[in-house]
Amino acid sequence: MVENNDGGVSRRTMMHGLGGLAAVSMSGMTERQAEAALAAGVSTDPHTRDTYRAVVDAILPRTPGLGDEHVPGGLEVELEKFLIWDFNHFQEIRLETLAETADPTVGQLSADQLEVGFAPAAADSALDALLDVDGITEDAIENTVDELDGFLDDPLGVGGDGIDVDDLRERLDFGAVDRFDVSIADSLEEGSSGPATFDVVVETADGDTRTAMRNYPYGAVFPIAFDIVATEFILLGKNEDAVERGNEEFPGGGTFVQLSREDRLRCLWSIVDGGAIDRLDELLSTLIADVGILKFVVMAVNGLHGFGYYTEWAGYQETTMEMPNDRRLNVPPGEVQSREQTGYPGPQPGYAADWRHAIPGGFDDPEADDLDLPDDLTGDDVIDDPGGESR
């Protein structure tokens, strides 16, 4: 057996290691920029931040009228950071599992399935820009648009008026994003191994956000997908409330944040229950290697509000975006905003409370040889012919 003589390399050592710096410098960052990007941890671009803020605001809004302690909502504790952190630390991609190009015969993932690059501001429309992603030739774009046209003609598969690709072009909006670029910074030469480092560059009118990170940057990619789904949602007329272009509350967001609170959630639900990812597979698969995961993501987008807001997470304050070992709880877990709203006192070593045993003398439990079990269940306990096995 191999003895583990690992010296205990810390995260910071790895982050500042030559590999990391070399990696980010390949993306055009200067060494100084790269140092800053790595030292800052995960930074967030305005589109990503405002898209998640719009979700947080829909699920945990400010609520005047329930009592003073209930007024502040999820945005007051910057809960969007919780969602972004979790999605950005959700999947490590290993270099040894990547090929230069995909080999469907062995199911191998290729680097270009994970890389995304497009520039809404530089093309005729956001749709054209999105289709102009790395690894897709012009012919492929033509084909994709043709297929898209045919597909969207009958979006629900029941005939009737479809969506015109021009409508999609006109409506699709990625908010503040002028250029969006996800690339793998590491060498993919044969024999390379270890976690891949991803460069994420988001250019906006107000400046660039550059991040180098050791997991797939789902945090920034999912909001792009939400804008696409929201576009279809609006074009199908599924929104029940008016659409507000240029939502001042979430200025960095795109089509998604233009929806009302409830419509944002209806839009997300169309991914799970409305078949949106089947209809939009052509578009979404340029962004996400396995589009099916978006159903899981919608589950997580909702559920993470429980793991974030209603726990002690907000008490980590300025360390909420740090790695788990570096977080410091600065507010007692019973005193964060949400705990003031639920009355939970936080963990205690025990409680003085009355209790009793329900069965005097304890459970009846004969030896196996003395068991006298009935031969069959009777009455309403029996479900006739339960289906199940071997199906």
Partner 1 sequence: MRDPDVVVIGAGGDGPACASRLARAHGLDVLVLEGGAWHGNEKWPEPHADSGGTISTDPDDLDGKLLDEQFTVREADANDPTWGYLRVGPADHSRAPWFRNVPQNLFLWQVSAVGGTTAHYFGNHPRAYPYAIDEQPHWPIDYEDLVPYYQLNEAVTRTQQAPMTNKEEVFIAGAERAGYDRIDTLNVTETGWRPQPNAIEAPPADLDAKYDGSFSYDDGFRGDSLAADHFQGGPTPEDAPVREKARKSSNVSWVPRALDTNADPELGTVAIRPNAYVTDIATDEGAGGLEATGVEFRDTWSGNTATVEADVVVLAAGCIESPRLWLNSGLPDDGWVGKGLTTHWFDWIVGTYPDDAIEEINGEANMDPFVGQNSAVRFDKPGVGGMEDIGMTPGLVSFGNYLFSRAGYSFDAEVDPDEPWDSRGYVVGKELKRRMANYRNTKALLILTDDLPRRNNGVSLDDTFADEHGAVPEIRWEPHPDDDAKRDELARIAARIHREAGAEHVHRCDWPPLLLHMQSSMAMGKVVDENAQAYNVDRLFVADHSALANGVGGPNPTNSGQALALRTADRIGALYF
Of residues 69 through 98, those in contact with partner 1 by CB under 8 A are 70, 73, 85-86, 89-92, 94, 96-97
Between residues 16 and 295, which has the closer beta carbon with respect to partner 1?
Answer: 295
Q: How far is the CB of 135 from partner 1 (least distance, A)?
A: 16
Is residue 159 within the footprint of partner 1 (CB under 8 A)?
no
Q: How far apart are CA 282 and CA 34, in angstroms?
A: 34
Between residues 207 and 296, which has the closer beta carbon with respect to partner 1?
Answer: 296
Residues in contact with partner 1, shown as a per-residue x/- string from 263 to 282 under the rule CB under 8 A:
--xx--x--xx---------
From residue 205, alpha-carbon distances to 18, 178, 217, 261 in Å are 32, 7, 22, 27
What the block records as the tokens of 93 is 């991609």
Q: How far is the CB of 177 from partner 1 (least distance, A)?
A: 25
Is residue 368 within the footprint of partner 1 (CB under 8 A)?
yes
28, 61, 150, 207: which one binds partner 1 (CB under 8 A): 61
Between residues 145 and 344, which has the closer beta carbon with respect to partner 1?
Answer: 344
- Contacting partner 1 within 173-212 (CB under 8 A): 193, 195
Q: How far apart are CA 371 and CA 365, in angstroms?
A: 9
For 55, what's the count of Cα atoms within 13 Å in the CB-facing half-sphere? 31
- Bridge partners (DSSP) of residue 117 are 181
Which of 316, 298, 261, 266 lies closest to 81, judged by CA?
Answer: 316
32, 158, 189, 356: which one binds partner 1 (CB under 8 A): 356
Decide: helix, strand or coil at residue 323: coil
Between residues 237 and 374, which has the closer beta carbon with respect to partner 1?
Answer: 374
- Contacting partner 1 within 126-155 (CB under 8 A): none
Is residue 237 within the footprint of partner 1 (CB under 8 A)?
no
Residues in contact with partner 1, shown as a per-residue x/- string from 297 to 336 under the rule CB under 8 A:
-xx--xx-xxxxxxxxx---------xxx---x---x---
Q: How far apart are CA 194 and CA 158, in angstroms?
A: 48
347: amino acid identity, one letter: P
Between residues 210 and 305, which has the closer beta carbon with respect to partner 1?
Answer: 305
Decide: helix, strand or coil at residue 210: strand
What the block records as the tokens of 199 is 């460069």
60, 187, 250, 251: which one binds partner 1 (CB under 8 A): 60
CB atoms within 10 A of CB 116: 22
